Structures are given as C-alpha cells and as structure tokens.
Structure 1
Amino acid sequence: IVWDFIKFAKDNGITVGPGRGSGAGSLVAYCLKITNIDSLKYNLAFERFLNPERISMPDFD
C-alpha cells in the first residue's frame, strides 16, 4: 500500500520525504523506492523495524 502512495506521488510530481523512524532502516523499502535511504550504506539497524520483541506488527509512518 505504501508503495502505491509513493508511486502515485512521484508520478504526479508530488515531493516525497526520505522516510522516518524504523521504516527508513528497511532495505526492502529502499529497493521498492519507498525511501531513498540506503540502510546498508548508512549501517542502519533493520532490527528496529522487524523486531521479534515487538508486540505489534511493523508499519510505515
């Protein structure tokens, strides 16, 4: 769903932010162009996004 929103925005010249919170650490989000932050380049911890200790499911803000 997030990808659909981002694609619509980019296709229509709407500015998209770089991402925020733990979602920015997701390499999948980077590969899908949901965020433009390469988590490998900046050594961001994916564990903040997908953590087995987390009670609720991860989401993008």
Structure 2
Amino acid sequence: MTWTEIAGFVTGALCVWLVVKRNIGNFPVGIANLYFILCTAHLGAGPASPAKIAASPSR
C-alpha cells in the first residue's frame, strides 16, 4: 500500500466518524479524502482505480 492509499483510508474513516457525530469538521476532512483518492487514482494504484477504468477502451 502506498502512503496515499493509507491517507485516503484514514481520512475517509475519520470523515464518516465525524458525520455520525454531526461535527462540522467533516467538510475539510472530506476534501482531504477526495484529494488522496484522486492522487491514488492518478498514480494508478489498485486494480480497478478510476483512472484505469476511464482509460480502458469500450467494447
């Protein structure tokens, strides 16, 4: 696992926890989560990353 995948998981879990607690802090954490998800997709990590799905030819 890369550090962006780990950071994406941690910020995602924290964001969900903050939503359950109804804390306004979930918005900046959610934005950070999106950033790490996009970084992971840009690096092409994972077998079904959005970048690979978007680049695959349609049949």
- Fold shared, TM-score > 0.5 on shorter chain: no
Bigger Cα Rg = 2
Q: Normalising by structure 1, what TM-score? A: 0.28
TM-score by length of 2: 0.29
> Structure 1 or 2: larger helix share?
2
